[in-house]
Amino acid sequence: MTSETGKIQAGGTSSDDSSLVQLIDALGRRQADARYDHYVADVDGAALRRLYEDMVVSRRIDAEATALQRQGELALWPPLLGQEAAQVGSARALRADDFVFSSYRENAVAYCRGVKLSDLLRVWRGNVPSGWDPYSVNMAPPQVIIGAQTLHATGYAMGILADGADSATVAYFGDGATSQGDVNEAMVFAASYQAPVIFYCQNNHWAISEPVGLQAHVPIARRAPGFGIPAVRVDGNDVLACLAVTREALERARRGGGPSFIEAVTYRMGPHTTADDPTRYRDANELEGWAARDPIARVAALLDSLQLLDADYADSVRTAADSVAAELRAECVGMEEPEAMDLFRNVYSTPHAGLARQRDNYQRYLQSFTDPPVSVKE
Ligand SMILES: Cc1ncc(C[n+]2csc(CCOP(=O)(O)OP(=O)(O)O)c2C)c(N)n1
Ligand SMILES: [Mg+2]
């Protein structure tokens, strides 16, 4: 679709609200739903507040990391602004023994899994080749190869079946990823073996500068039934609905019902990464429309209507989020710089002539700098 200003809009097929599971509407009103209400029956005021707090803190972490990149402290950052409900709602449905395989954008999921703040940033500062110890939080480090994590999630889920366990895996990926071979191959395997894996697609309407309407002329969720995988479309800006549909999919996985596909319809309100300028390819009106459906504002409105958002509470959440951001910043700028030659360690478990040659060349290259002198530690 092209707008009056000539810029591309994301397309109408995927933002049609009528087919979406929604438990909180854009104005913050709780919507009754015969199928999904019981999945969130335990979410009382305190639990709703916790979801709100997770979302506020996640947004604050994201804003601080974006600022750190702008100030030269990170090489790159992939913002999640606008996707807090899709990530927090699904992540809070999981048990500690479930296993998450994500892309680069799921930093709110990582926060909910308990990834250390410094570990969220380390790889984007160029300090380590990869993020964190996956087994400490049951979440693999972010995958940058689009869609590849769906294969890892499916393989791990097949392992769960072999172990006879009742845990599940979740693969997080984007709308663009659904056109990758890996994602389609993963769905074939998951359906064939009835693996306990949830394919959680955050349709944020854009794959860098490609609008979702270009690659999907029908809603993305409709692809999954073709593989024999049940699918649901959910309002991805509704944290309660995201929690409910993920709980349903987990229940199916745990009772041996196999894989599920969730399309969380949301919107990437920021750039693709800090290296991108979305004003060059998308219409400002589109962003305005989605700003009116802000995922945090609607939970705030619901809490307010329940008399659960007084000024003291709102202040305390803001202050807590600010202190997480301050801790994130301090840990980022205080990170110890790695030794350049460490890049070559742990690549192979046994000596490798090609790597040794590269290492020697690189060492000679570093030694060629005399001003300022570079410390080269073997
Ligand atoms: C296999 C592969 N092809 C291309 C790229 C370059 N690339 C990085 S992000 C991206 C778009 C992904 O869009 P989407 O799946 O919608 O996820 P989003 O970034 O919107 O969260 C592409 C094409 C890549 N990283 N890996
Ligand atoms: Mg996308």
- Taking only the tens place, the pLDDT of each residue in 184-208 is 999 999 999 999 999 999 999 999 9
Residue 128: which pLDDT band, with cuts at 50, 70 and 90?
Answer: confident
Nearest to 93 by CA among 71, 112, 66, 118: 112
CA torsion 6-10-16-19 (nearest 10°) is 170
CB atoms within 10 A of CB 315: 10
Task: State whether the beta carbon of 84 lies less than 6 angstroms from ligand 1.
Answer: no
Q: Which atom of ligand 1 is nearest to the CA of 202?
A: 21
d(CA 242, CA 40) in angstroms, rounded, equals 10
Distance 208 CA to ligand 2 centre (A): 7
Confidence of residue 129 (pLDDT cuts 50, 70, 90): confident
Q: Does residue 377 share a domain with residue 251?
A: no
- In this structure, are 146 and 294 located in the same domain? yes
Total domain count for the chain? 2
| pLDDT beyond 70 at 377 | no
Do residues 21 and 95 both lie within one domain? yes
Ligand 2 centroid, distance to 339 Cα (angstroms):
35
Kindly give the distance from the C-alpha atom of residue 174 to the centroid of ligand 2, in angstroms, as a whole number: 4
User: Which ligand number lies closest to the CA of residue 79?
Assistant: 1
- Report angle CA 330, 334, 340 to the nearest 5 degrees: 145
Name the band, by pLDDT with cuts 50, 70 and 90, for residue 375: low
Tell me, what's the pLDDT at 6? Answer: 36
Q: Is the dihedral of CA 11, 17, 19, 21 positive or negative?
A: positive
Q: Please state the pTM of the whole predicted model.
A: 0.93
Clarify whether residues 347 and 260 are in a common domain.
Answer: no
- Ligand 1 site, residue 333, Cβ cutoff 6 A: no
Nearest-angstrom CA–CA distance, 229 and 307: 41
Residues with CB under 5 A from ligand 2 (ion): 174-175, 204, 207
Q: What is the pLDDT of residue 7?
A: 41
Atom of ligand 1 nearest to the CA of 207: 13
Is pLDDT at 12 greater than 60 in this prediction?
no
- pLDDT reading at 83 higher than 50: yes
260 - beta bridge partners?
198
pLDDT in tens, 130-184: 889 999 999 999 999 999 999 999 999 999 999 999 999 999 999 999 999 999 9
CB neighbour list of residue 201: distance below 8 Å, 6 or more residues apart: 173, 174, 175, 177, 178, 220, 221, 261, 262, 263, 264
292 lines ligand 1 (CB under 6 A): no
Pick the residue whose CA is nearest to atom 4 on ligand 1: 146
**Ligand 1 contact, 174 CB (< 6 A):** yes
Range from 216-230, 287-301, 319-333, 359-373 carrying the lowest mean pLDDT: 359-373
pLDDT given for residue 13 in this prediction: 44
Specify whether 310 is located in the same domain as 192. yes
Ligand 1 atom 3: the closest Cα is on which residue? 146
Determine the structural domain holding residue 359 and report its residue range. 340-378
Residue 2 lies in a domain: no
176 Cα to the center of ligand 1, angstroms:
6
Q: Is 343 or 196 the better-scoring residue by pLDDT?
A: 196
* Same domain? 326 vs 344: no
Ligand 1 site, residue 207, Cβ cutoff 6 A: yes
User: Is residue 15 predicted with pLDDT exceeding 70?
Assistant: no
Same domain (yes/no): 183, 45? yes
Q: Which residues are catalytic?
A: 268, 272, 281
Both 171 and 317 in one domain: the answer is yes
| One domain for residues 203 and 327 | yes
37 burial level (CB within 10 Å; 0-12, 13-18, 19+): middle
64 CB less than 6 Å from ligand 1? no
212-271 pLDDT, tens digit each? 999 999 999 999 999 999 999 999 999 999 999 999 999 999 999 999 999 999 999 999
146, 266, 272: residue to mutate for ligand 1 pocket, most atoms within 8 A of CB: 146
Query: What is the average pLDDT across 304-318?
Result: 98
Q: For residues 194 and 235, state if they share a domain.
A: yes
- pLDDT for the residue numbered 372: 59
Residues 103 and 149 in one domain: yes
Query: Which pLDDT belongs to residue 130?
Result: 83
